[in-house]
Structures are given as structure tokens and as C-alpha cells.
């Protein structure tokens, strides 16, 4: 049963001149002052969600995004600041880009945030998808096999560091601790200082391809799954349940998964779709050339650069996303009914995120959606839960 509602904010600034007819992505260079406004935007969202009984604000790690689409390089540091200015809301990463870090430095940063926030942080892991970020920071991305192998070893190190009083790791990419003398003796093990106070750390990872290797890795390490809304939700949930069964654990459909939707509220579905269309056009311009729209042809991807060709290229629209289930647009009762229908199909689902990064959606519009959802939709789930108790 769904009991937790979240929002995922990717860390973009307020911007205008968007969509196919708007400013080219590569021509958008924001000022330092405007790029830094992301922290005020995050605080505003956090304080609003805190009052409305949301559970978690998820944040995305990005680097070098001068265009303004992602300005949060350190999720743990920002989470600590946000926790100091809110009362109950939790904070997490969708996702920490693991290959952008030395795993022990990331493990330390999260442990400090866990201690200082008294357990109000969650850990999310991803492999990265932007070459400008990952490759510049010294790790492979375009070589997918190398990226996955590095990522898996880094995750193992992070869990060792958190869960073992002292540890050593001798792997393909890391030899820990260094083979040096410490106070005249060979250094055999090290201890992460500090370690998180709240163990085991709750960890989340996205599921896109639902490859057996990827899912089995998550099950082995007790990592929970983040599933994008859309036509593959039930297929992924079934694969997830089967993987746990292979590991000897019987779970309900949807258990230990978070479903990520993009919700936009207006008086009618048509109005909401029309308002969202220019935002989604901007998303296509940003994400298609990065390989985040795998169903597009190369011709369609190239069309996203051309304001004349884009409308004629057969690119997906918000109407398509609404039909597929990834977006839910319309009045509050309609939103409630659509999410309730998902709950019926996935009885083990407990967590729904009503923002899918919200790339290009103005933070001012995000706040309106959060406020309306918190006041007009979330209470309907509380009432439904009480009635069924």
C-alpha cells in the first residue's frame, strides 16, 4: 500500500524561452548568480514539502551544467543544509554518480550527513549518463562494460566501509588500504571514520533495462529499485519479484520499489498537457542527444536541434507519455484515481515519487504542483488507508 509520497528535483534553475522554438541548449549559458539559485529553489521545495507531509525530497548529482539543467554537485552537503532548515522531511540522491567519486570519500560524506541529520538522508546510486561529467572526472562512461565494472566495485567498497568495523579490498580498480607502513607496521585494514549511525544504510538504484545482471547485483546487496512510470512498470516489477525469489525471498509485486511519475495538476487533463508540452520539448532537446530516449532514431535525435524539423519528426509528446502512464496530468481526483489504479496492480508498492526530475519544469510550477498534491491528493490516500484499516 502506498504510504510515502516524494518529489524528485533534478536541480535546474528557473528559465524561459524553452521548447523547440526556444533557445538552443548549447546557447543557454546562465550567470553564476542564477546557477547558484538552485540552492534557494531546493530550500523552498523542501520547506513546502515538510509542511505538507511528504516523505523525501530526492536530488540529482550533476557537474559542469552551465546551461542550468543540473546544479547540485554534492547531494550530501546540500541535504545537510536542507535538513537544518526543515523538521521532518528526508533527503536522498536520485542519484549519486558513483564513478564521479572515490568511493571512500563518498562514503565519508554520506556518513557525516547521516550523523548530523540524525538519519534523515537516503542513499541513491547511479552509473552516470553524461560524458562531460563522468569522463572529465576521470572515469569511463562511453565504454559501458568498463563503467559497469568500476561502478560495481565501488559500490562493494562503500558497503564494506559502512558495514565492517575495519576492512580491506583488493580488486581490479582499487587496492585498499594502500600497501604502506603505518607506525612501523604493514597496513592491513582501515576503518571508515565516521561510519553512519543508522545501519544498514537504505540504498536505491534505478532500473531501466531490467537486465538480470543488474537486478541480481541489486538483490545481492539489498539495494531497492527505482522504476520510471510507463508501460514497462509491471514487467519490471515481475522481474524484480522473480529475482528475489531466486535469492530465496518471497515479496509482493512492487515491494522494495519506488515508482517515479511526473504529475502536473490543472483543472482539466487537456489544460495540464498543454501547459506541460513546452517543458517536455525542452526535455527532448536536452536528453535525446545524451541517449536517454532509446526509442528515437538518429534522424529524430538530430531533429531536436532544429526548430523547423522537430515538430515534423514524429517525436513523442506529453499525450504519448500520459497514454503510456509515465505522466499523469489533470485535476486532483483524476491524479488520485490513476495512482490508485497502479496501487491495485502493485500491492507491495509503498513509495511514489510525483516528480521525475522535472527537468525544465519551472521551480515555481513545481511548487504549485507540490502544494496542490499535498493539499488535495495526498489526504485522499490517507483517508483511503484509514477506511481500509
| Residues 325-348, mean pLDDT to the nearest whole number | 97
Examine residue 91 and state whether it is found in any structural domain, yes or no: no
| Residues 150-174, mean pLDDT to the nearest whole number | 98
Give the percent of the chain with pLDDT over 90.
Answer: 96
Determine which of 133-147, 329-343, 373-387 has the lowest per-residue pLDDT on average: 373-387
What does the pLDDT look like over 230-246, one tens digit per residue? Answer: 999 999 999 999 999 99
What is the band of 58 on the pLDDT scale with cuts at 50, 70, 90?
A: very high
Exposure string over 203-223, b if 16+ CB within 10 A, otherwise e: bbbbbeebeeebbebbbebeb
What is the band of 258 on the pLDDT scale with cuts at 50, 70, 90?
A: very high
Phi-psi category of 358—alpha, beta or left, where left has phi over 0 and alpha has psi -120 to 50? left
Phi-psi category of 139—alpha, beta or left, where left has phi over 0 and alpha has psi -120 to 50? beta
Q: What's residue 208's pLDDT? A: 87
Which DSSP helix (H) or strand (E) runs through 262? Answer: strand 262-265
Nine-digit cell at 348?
Answer: 507491495
> What does residue 308 show for φ and ψ, rounded to 5 degrees?
-85, -40
Q: Are 142 and 131 in contact (CB under 8 A)?
A: yes
Neighbours of 6 (CB within 10 A): 22
Examine residue 103 and state whether it is found in any structural domain, yes or no: no
What does the pLDDT look like over 78-129, one tens digit per residue? Answer: 999 999 999 999 999 999 999 999 999 999 999 999 999 999 999 999 999 9
Helices and strands (DSSP H and E) totals, the chain: 13, 15
How many domains are there within the chain? Answer: 1
- Which residues does 27 contact at the CB level (< 8 Å), separation at least 6? none
| Residue 189 scores a pLDDT above 80 | yes
| Residue 389 scores a pLDDT above 70 | no
Whole-number Å distance between alpha carbons of 291 and 297:
10
> What does residue 150 show for φ and ψ, rounded to 5 degrees?
-65, -50
| Residues 27-55, mean pLDDT to the nearest whole number | 98
Examine residue 62 and state whether it is found in any structural domain, yes or no: yes
Burial class of 82 by CB neighbour count within 10 A (0 to 12, 13 to 18, 19+): buried
Q: What number of CA atoms fall less than 13 Å from residue 259's CA on the CB side?
A: 34
Residue with cell 517525436: 315
Q: What's residue 210's pLDDT? A: 83
What does the pLDDT look like over 10-25, one tens digit per residue? Answer: 999 999 999 999 999 9
Examine residue 77 and state whether it is found in any structural domain, yes or no: no
Q: What number of CA atoms fall less than 13 Å from residue 241's CA on the CB side?
A: 16
Whole-number Å distance between alpha carbons of 215 and 190:
30
What does the pLDDT look like over 269-308, one tens digit per residue? Answer: 999 999 999 999 999 999 999 999 989 999 999 999 999 9
Examine residue 307 and state whether it is found in any structural domain, yes or no: yes
Q: Are 353 and 296 in contact (CB under 8 A)?
A: no
Whole-number Å distance between alpha carbons of 163 and 333:
44
- Which residues does 238 contact at the CB level (< 8 Å), separation at least 6? 253
Which DSSP helix (H) or strand (E) runs through 208? Answer: none
Examine residue 275 and state whether it is found in any structural domain, yes or no: yes
| Residues 368-386, mean pLDDT to the nearest whole number | 89
| Residue 226 scores a pLDDT above 60 | yes
Nine-digit cell at 139?
Answer: 572515469
Domain containing 314 equals: 1-72+261-389
Q: What's residue 384's pLDDT? A: 67
Examine residue 97 and state whether it is found in any structural domain, yes or no: no
What is the band of 62 on the pLDDT scale with cuts at 50, 70, 90?
A: very high
**DSSP assignment of 180-195, as one string?**
-EETTEE---B--SSP
Give the percent of the chain with pLDDT over 70.
Answer: 98
Q: What's residue 383's pLDDT? A: 74
| Residues 173-178, mean pLDDT to the nearest whole number | 98
Examine residue 296 and state whether it is found in any structural domain, yes or no: yes
Q: Are 128 and 147 in contact (CB under 8 A)?
A: yes
Q: Are 140 and 222 in contact (CB under 8 A)?
A: no
What is the band of 385 on the pLDDT scale with cuts at 50, 70, 90?
A: low
pLDDT mean across residues, the chain: 96
Pairing, β 4-9 against β 351-353: parallel
Strand partners for 259? 227, 352
What is the band of 388 on the pLDDT scale with cuts at 50, 70, 90?
A: low
| Residue 218 scores a pLDDT above 70 | yes
pTM (predicted TM-score): 0.96
Q: Are 55 and 90 in contact (CB under 8 A)?
A: yes
Neighbours of 384 (CB within 10 A): 15
What is the band of 382 on the pLDDT scale with cuts at 50, 70, 90?
A: confident
> What does residue 50 show for φ and ψ, rounded to 5 degrees?
-60, -40
Whole-number Å distance between alpha carbons of 58 and 7:
6
Amino acid at each position: 500500500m502506498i504510504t510515502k509520497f516524494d518529489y524528485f528535483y533534478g536541480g535546474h534553475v528557473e528559465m524561459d524561452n524553452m521548447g523547440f522554438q526556444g533557445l538552443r541548449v548549447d546557447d543557454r549559458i546562465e550567470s553564476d548568480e542564477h546557477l547558484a539559485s538552485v540552492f534557494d529553489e531546493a530550500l523552498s521545495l523542501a520547506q513546502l514539502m515538510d509542511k505538507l507531509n511528504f516523505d523525501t525530497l530526492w536530488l540529482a548529482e550533476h557537474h559542469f551544467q552551465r546551461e542550468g539543467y543540473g546544479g547540485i554537485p554534492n547531494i550530501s552537503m546540500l541535504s545537510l543544509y536542507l535538513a537544518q532548515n526543515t523538521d521532518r522531511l528526508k533527503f536522498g540522491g536520485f542519484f549519486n554518480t558513483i564513478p564521479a567519486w572515490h568511493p571512500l570519500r563518498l562514503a565519508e560524506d554520506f556518513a557525516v550527513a547521516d550523523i548530523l541529520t540524525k538519519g534523515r538522508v537516503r542513499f541513491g546510486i547511479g552509473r552516470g549518463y553524461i560524458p562531460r561529467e563522468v569522463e572529465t572526472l576521470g572515469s569511463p562512461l562511453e565504454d559501458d562494460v568498463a563503467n559497469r565494472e568500476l561502478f560495481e566495485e565501488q559500490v562493494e567498497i562503500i558497503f564494506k566501509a559502512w558495514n565492517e568495523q575495519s576492512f580491506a579490498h583488493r580488486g581490479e580498480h582499487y587496492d585498499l588500504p594502500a600497501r604502506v607502513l603505518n607506525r612501523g607496521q604493514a597496513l592491513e585494514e582501515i576503518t571508515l571514520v565516521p561510519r553512519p549511525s543508522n545501519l544498514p544504510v537504505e540504498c536505491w538504484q534505478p532500473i531501466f533495462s531490467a537486465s538480470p545482471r543488474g537486478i541480481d547485483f541489486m538483490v545481492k546487496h539489498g539495494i531497492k529499485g527505482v522504476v520510471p512510470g510507463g508501460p514497462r512498470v509491471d514487467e519490471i516489477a515481475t522481474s524484480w519479484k522473480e529475482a528475489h525469489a531466486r535469492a530465496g525471498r518471497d515479496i509482493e509485486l512492487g515491494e522494495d520499489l519506488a515508482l517515479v511519475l511526473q504529475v502536473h495538476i490543472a483543472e482539466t487533463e487537456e489544460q495540464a498537457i498543454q501547459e506541460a508540452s513546452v517543458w517536455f520539448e525542452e526535455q527532448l532537446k536536452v536528453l535525446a542527444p545524451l541517449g536517454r530516449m532509446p526509442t528515437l532514431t538518429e534522424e529524430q535525435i538530430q531533429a531536436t536541434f532544429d526548430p523547423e524539423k522537430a515538430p515534423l519528426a514524429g517525436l513523442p509528446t506529453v499525450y504519448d507519455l500520459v497514454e503510456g502512464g509515465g505522466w499523469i496530468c489533470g485535476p486532483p481526483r483524476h491524479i488520485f484515481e490513476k495512482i490508485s489504479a497502479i496501487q491495485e496492480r502493485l500491492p507491495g508498492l509503498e513509495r511514489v515519487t510525483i516528480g521525475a526530475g522535472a527537468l525544465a519544469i519551472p521551480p515555481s510550477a513545481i511548487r504549485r504542483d507540490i502544494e496542490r498534491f499535498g493539499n488535495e491528493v495526498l489526504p485522499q490516500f490517507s483517508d483511503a488507508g484509514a477506511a481500509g484499516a
